[in-house]
Amino acid sequence: MKRFFIFSALSLIGSSSFAGQPNVLFISVDDLRPQLGCYGDKLIKSPNIDRIAARGIVFEKAYTQQAVCSPSRTAIMTGLRPDVTKVWDLETHFRPAQPDCITLPQHFKANGYQCEALSKIYHKGHEDGRSWTAPHWYPFGRAVDTDLEDWTKQIVTKHDVNTLEYSSPEANDPSVKKKDKEAKGGPSFEVSPKDESDLPDGATANEAVKRLAAFKAKGQPFFLAVGFLKPHLPFVAPKKYWDLYDPNSIPLPSITHLPEGAPPYVGHTNGEIHNYPGVPKEDPIPADFAKNLRHGYYACISYMDAQVGKVLDALEKEGLADNTIIVLWGDHGWQLGDHGLWHKHTNFELATRAPLLISAPGSKTAGQKCAATVEFVDVYPTLAELCGLPIPSGLAGSSLKTYIDNPSAPSTKVAMSQYPKKSPEGAVMGYSIRNDRYRATFYRLRNGSQIVGTELYDEQNDPNETVSLAGKPEHKELLESLAKKLPPVGSDADREGAKSKKGKDKGKGKGKPAMPAAATSTDDRGARFDKLDKDKAGKLSREFYTTHQSDAAAAGERFTKWDKNKDGFLSREEYLKQGK
């Protein structure tokens, strides 16, 4: 079995001095596909993100490790792939599988940085107190820390900045959602009458401005992580940002069905967006409504971009810009009706490709673009090298400093993304291998060697991925070559039954296949249920359960099977018995 290095904080502390150390402004954007001015889009208004591009490098082919929030964010924050952290869904924390992992901000903290987080950095509910020197701040009236020894123990403090998403009090009332187990509380989009500072991202930008002033006064190097929620659903933005776009100029998707030749299970059912009131139930979503949704997404990009601008202005005002590295990244791409799909949750190019901009002070290549294939796990070692810190052993990625110094340098590796799916043959892990020209996705049975489905797209000649070429005999050698990049068989095995809490093989079980996720113990499933059941209601609705799983379609099938009394909820007993 392949072993992964565990890095110790003790070996990192005290390895650097403060003199001349650059600061880090680490900007995360939720559900942002690379549809920005600096990526060549003529429609989107993103002048402030374009400011970062002008002083840095735009990575044109940057790929997330899995196109869903928690696995993607965990990968960039730990420098480890989902198969190592065992985070493939929205309910799993990385600490059980990697209890001694030193995260990106934790590494900086150990080297004398003041490390603080605002809004969504890790997936909400998966905070990690070891990563920060202050509680993780949210624009919802609270900050969250976790016990340094027991990450499951949250320490919540309250503050006065408490924003709401919608203009309607009823839409913001969580009790309204419970009246209909399928529905979201408010609409999928809204032209907000609120001042932008009264919305979550505006409040986050204001807090970032305050933190920068405090950092300036303190004089200690900082790592400030600022998370913006838009353009994540619902598409809520003030009217002036909607007015930036002519509804008649908004394009429709070029393809509204799955690619020709693709396995039928590579998409999903658009479950999340259909749960918003007023969204048509049919797929593909009708063109007029699809345009409204796209309009909302674009407005949210521009609203978020304006908040980025506030933070950049503060950085300059405090005299910090010339000694601060800026990283802006989207946690994954997003499909706006492309292939008939909304959201992420796939291995398609539009879901796995995301913005990545890195601005290093004094760079002689500022304003250039890099076409090399890179991954989000590369960010950790890149920032460590740029800041003169040691690069921990065991990271999955490699530093991108070579490309910052020479953006035209050729690619040296492929990018790998993955997504779990359910095929007729059983549960599979879809591994997507992207080189300079092609994307090949192999659907391999979980904890097995059999590949039961394959996709291949020529991204140069078919950028919309309309036809899979996997069945063409002339591409056999190409597929065989790319298949050699797949991780070892068993990499996607659930941690239970494979490793003990300390990460060592269990006694006589060494070398035996790990237990699949469905075979985990009753005690462990009970703990999972309790973690999901945050309101202590003793049951989970279909909408809540499916949207907290990595594959909503497969989760819906499980829900139907397990809901034995057909009341539309999973009781704790039903969750434990799994339909048995």
The one-letter code for the residue type at 218 is K
User: Does the fold of domain 521-577 match that of domain 21-405?
Assistant: no
Confidence (pLDDT) at 134:
97
- pLDDT given for residue 513 in this prediction: 29
pLDDT at 545: 78
Quote the tokens at residue 450: 């059999």
The pLDDT score that the predictor gives to residue 512 is: 30
What digits encode the pLDDT tens for the residues 98-122? 999 999 999 999 999 999 999 999 9
- In sequence order, the 6+-apart residues with CB closer than 8 A to the CB of 552 are 268, 269, 271, 272, 345, 546
Q: Which tokens in the block code for residue 347?
A: 């291995």
> With 60 as the cut, is the pLDDT of residue 511 above it?
no
pLDDT band at 124 (very low <50, low <70, confident <90, very high): very high
Mean pLDDT of the region 513-523: 38
Task: For the chain, give the mean pLDDT.
Answer: 89
The fraction of the chain above a pLDDT of 70, given in percent, is 87
Reported confidence tier of residue 550, pLDDT bands at 50, 70, 90: low
Looking up tokens 């969204």 gives 279
Q: What is the pLDDT of residue 523?
A: 57
Q: Label residue 244 by pLDDT band (50, 70, 90).
A: very high
In this structure, how many other beta carbons lie within 10 angstroms of the beta carbon of residue 223? 27
Model confidence pLDDT, tens digit, residues 352-394: 999 999 999 999 999 999 999 999 999 999 999 999 999 999 9
Whether 338 shows a pLDDT value over 60: the answer reads yes
More confident residue, 561 or 215: 215
Cβ(33)–Cβ(72) below 8 Å? no
pLDDT tens by residue, 194-205: 999 999 999 999
Token pair in block for residue 163 = 């924003």
Identify the pLDDT of residue 175: 61
Token output for 533: 């059941």
The domain locations on the chain are 21-405, 521-577
Give the mean model confidence (pLDDT) for residues 527-552.
Answer: 72
Could you tell me the pLDDT band of residue 14, with boundaries at 50, 70 and 90?
A: very low
- Which of 69, 115, 370, 387 is flagged as catalytic? 69
pLDDT at residue 510, as a whole number? 31
Q: How far apart are CA 229 and CA 556, in angstroms?
A: 26
Which CATH superfamily includes the segment(s) 21-405? Alkaline Phosphatase, subunit A (3.40.720.10)
| Closest-CA residue to 335 (of 347, 344, 326) | 344
The residue-averaged pLDDT of 57-80 equals 98
Task: Quickly list DSSP for 270-326.
Answer: -HHHHTSTT--SSSSPPHHHHHHHHHHHHHHHHHHHHHHHHHHHHHHHTT-GGGEEE
Instruction: Please tell me the predicted confidence (pLDDT) of residue 1.
Output: 34
Choose between 545 and 513: higher pLDDT: 545
What percent of the chain has pLDDT above 90?
Answer: 78
Over the stretch 482-507, which tens digit does the pLDDT of each residue have?
A: 999 999 999 999 875 333 333 333 32
For residue 558, what pLDDT is reported? 82
CB 64 within 8 A of CB 365: no
Residue 432 CA to residue 434 CA, distance in Å, equals 6
Tell me whether residue 69 is one of the annotated catalytic residues.
yes
The pLDDT value given to residue 347: 98
Count of CA atoms in the C-beta half-sphere (13 A) of 429? 28
Name the CA dihedral angle for 340, 342, 343, 347, rounded to a multiple of 10 degrees.
Answer: 0
Q: Which of 73-77, 375-379, 525-529 has the lowest mean pLDDT?
A: 525-529
Catalytic residue among 93, 101, 115, 123: 123
The per-residue pLDDT for 567 is: 77
Concerning whether 475 is annotated as a catalytic residue, the answer is no
The correct answer on CATH 3.90.1480.20 for the domain covering 521-577 is no
Task: Specify whether the CB–CB gap between 74 and 122 falls below 8 A.
Answer: yes
Residue 41 pLDDT greater than 70, yes or no = yes
The mean pLDDT of 305-324, rounded to a whole number, is: 98
